[in-house]
Amino acid sequence: MPLSRQQKASEILHKNIRCHKSVFPLCDVFLINSHGNPNEMLDLICSVQFIEMAQRYQDKVALVTGGSKGIGKGIVTVFVQHGAKVCFCARDEDVGKKLEKELNEKYPGSSFFVKCDVAKEEDIIFILGIQKVVNSTVAKFGEIDCLVNNAGRHPPDQKIDDISAAELRSLYDTNVVSYFLFAKYALPSLRKTKGNIINLSSLVGSMGQPNAVPYVSTKGAIIAMTKAMAIDEAVNGVRVNCISPGNVWTPMWSKLANEAIDTNKATIDGAEAQLMGRYGSMEESGNLALYIAAEATFTTGVDFLLTGGAELSYGRKTRVQAQMPSTL
């Protein structure tokens, strides 16, 4: 039995372009502008112009580190939603393979997962002793258009007196050295495609955070490295930018809140730190990364703040007893 116009429209939405309201809000426009008429709805959906608009990074190749959860997952998801071919790596193979399957079944782009511990140089080059992260991406997709350095960790609160040099070096391996190495190995391909690098830092890299000297220093290093790399790679046509999130609700943030003395207070305080009174989302993180990769083509060496205004205005910041001003 031939499909009705309405059934055909539904098939195009869900199978061909796999449009989803969270990805492309104009799905609602179909219903409004067509007044529910299946013929008019199909004409709108079949528009080539619509299909092109729906996929803002179609057939581009991205490599995302730490892409199985948190902000990295948000970036991988949005890129695949918009037609990109994404290789992402992380330590947890079960979680990574599950995400790969979900994305490939649901969205128009494609993804594949590679197990990797970014704290070890040999694991960045050799995955499970066989695959190489960068080279396997190029072998599978032919090139790299965008590298997103995202893998990182945030230790529990610690005073400097209790932090060893070994702990500091370990954190730098994960949060900074891995960024350097992935950029080093991906740049030969990125120079050919005139691609771009997006490094994930943090708002605290420029404004500080209590009881987090190692973490804050790694994030400041990422911002500085981004600017230096942008200068060097401009001659090769490679853009290098940075995203510094404020409080984005991720498994890492949830873990930090659960480790606090008062989890509920820590969670509320985190939301109230933003002028907008809420946490950012993983999807919003992905949307900003997509904009930088796909549209911010005259932008390099910039630290994009994804903070809900957390850095603005005065606050109660004193760490000592406040003093009244002296009489003039």
Q: Which residues are designated catalytic? A: 215
148 secondary structure, DSSP code: E
In order, the DSSP letters of 19-77 are --TTT-TTHHHHHHHTTT-HHHHHHHHT-HHHHHHH-TTTT-EEEEET-SSHHHHHHHH
Note the helical H segments in the chain.
5-11, 27-33, 38-45, 48-54, 70-81, 93-106, 121-125, 133-141, 165-172, 178-193, 204-207, 213-233, 251-259, 263-272, 282-294
Torsion angles phi and psi, residue 242, rounded to 5: -135, 145
Nearest to 86 by CA among 104, 59, 65, 62: 62
Contacts with 326 (C-beta within 8 Å, 6 or more apart), sequence order: none
CB 56 within 8 A of CB 82: yes
Q: Is 113 exposed, middle or buried (0-12, 13-18, 19+ CB in 10 A)?
A: buried
| Rounded CA separation 19/289 (Å) | 20
CA distance readout (Å), 254 to 72, 159, 327? 15, 21, 47
- Tokens for 95, please give them: 């979680």
Give the chain's count of helices (H) and strands (E): 15, 7
| Rounded CA separation 239/291 (Å) | 13
